[in-house]
Amino acid sequence: MDLTTREEGGVLVLEPVDRRLDAHAAPAFKTQLLARIDAGSRRVLLNLHNVVFVDSSGLGVIVSALKHLGREGELKVCAPQAAVRSMFELTRLHRVIGIFETEADGLKSFAA
Amino acid sequence: MERRLALMVGLALENVALVAAAVRGVCLEYLKADGVPMVELALVEACTNAVRHGARAGRAETFRLEIRVDAAALEFLVVEPGDAYDFDGRQMPAVDGDALEALPEGGFGIPLIKAVMDVAEYRRIGDVNVLRLCKRR
């Protein structure tokens, strides 16, 4: 599981390179995600534009990261493909994780 | 005309992506394109559970996926050698943004299956679990 990492205006932008975030990928995804968060900003934007498939295990890792950040941190998601966005809506996690169409929109939301 | 396919799948999570590719291929042939991702999701969740249940029980090294296509629907049977479990009682976990620490990290799989398939039926037959999932064409 590879994650690219960038810092944009105080926001840690993390981008999974792998196309599938499933139960097989989830343990390594979680390890990488939490390690990058611990090493960087408490404001995190997860750019999912490469990801074509997320299952409940992949979603669980994102929830885990949100909880890991705690109330002093923020985690948002940007650029999900339609099927990935549907996962957040079906599970109602879009109520607690901000989802933005583009990375620019996501970054802008942190400044608001 | 009815068409059938059966796959024997080793009880390892890395095999689930292979099953997903097969399911996606069948669905692209017989469903409208916008319905394919949710069927793939349901089958990935079902097969992930089959791997976990089967590996935990330790009674076999594979589970079986049967796919049947007819004019009306796609039907999937996931037959796995795990212990019995409560399929019907699983509900979508509550998500409450005011209780961050209590947000669920799991428990979404079976409710997602129920949400996206037209039919989702669980039966215990002898010492195997049989999950029947259908999607109308």
Question: Is residue A33 within 8 Å of residue A59, measured between CB atoms?
Answer: no
- The share of chain B scoring above pLDDT 70, in percent, equals 100
Beta bridge partners of A15: A4
Beta bridge partners of B73: B136
Does the beta-carbon distance from A95 to B95 stay under 8 Å? Answer: yes
CATH class in words for A3-111 = alpha beta
- The share of chain B scoring above pLDDT 90, in percent, equals 94
Average pLDDT per block of 10 residues along chain A, 112 residues long: 92 96 97 91 95 98 96 96 97 97 97 77
pLDDT of residue A1: 78
Distance from CA of B1 to the nearest CA of A (A): 30
Distance from CA of B37 to the nearest CA of A (A): 6
Does the beta-carbon distance from B92 to A91 stay under 8 Å? Answer: yes
pLDDT of residue B66: 98
Mutate to test the interface with A, among B108, B110, B112, B116 (most CBs of A within 10 A): B108
With CA atoms as reference, the chain A residue closest to B115 would be A90
Q: What share of chain A is helix, strand, coil (3-state, %, to 5)?
A: 45, 25, 30
pLDDT of residue A46: 98
Q: What is the pLDDT of residues B43-75, one digit of tens each?
A: 999 999 999 999 999 989 999 999 999 999 999
Does the beta-carbon distance from B44 to A93 stay under 8 Å? Answer: no
Kindly list the distances between the CA atom of residue A34 and the CA atoms of A39, A53, A66, B121, in Å, as whole numbers in the listed order. Answer: 9, 21, 10, 37
- Per-residue confidence band for B98, with pLDDT thresholds at 50, 70 and 90: confident
Distance from CA of A56 to the nearest CA of B (A): 6
Q: What is the mean pLDDT of residues B27-31?
A: 96
* Complex confidence, ipTM: 0.95
Q: Does A60 contact B at CB distance below 8 Å?
A: yes
Q: Does B97 contact A at CB distance below 8 Å?
A: yes
pTM of the model: 0.96
Q: What value does the mean pLDDT of chain B take?
A: 96
Q: Does A55 contact B at CB distance below 8 Å?
A: yes
Q: Crossing angle of helices B36-57/B16-30, nearest 10°? A: 150
Does the beta-carbon distance from A63 to B13 stay under 8 Å? Answer: no
∠ CA A108-B101-B87, rounded to 5°: 105
- Per-residue confidence band for B81, with pLDDT thresholds at 50, 70 and 90: very high
Domain segments of chain A as ranges: 3-111
Q: How far apart are CA A38 and CA A49, in angstroms?
A: 23
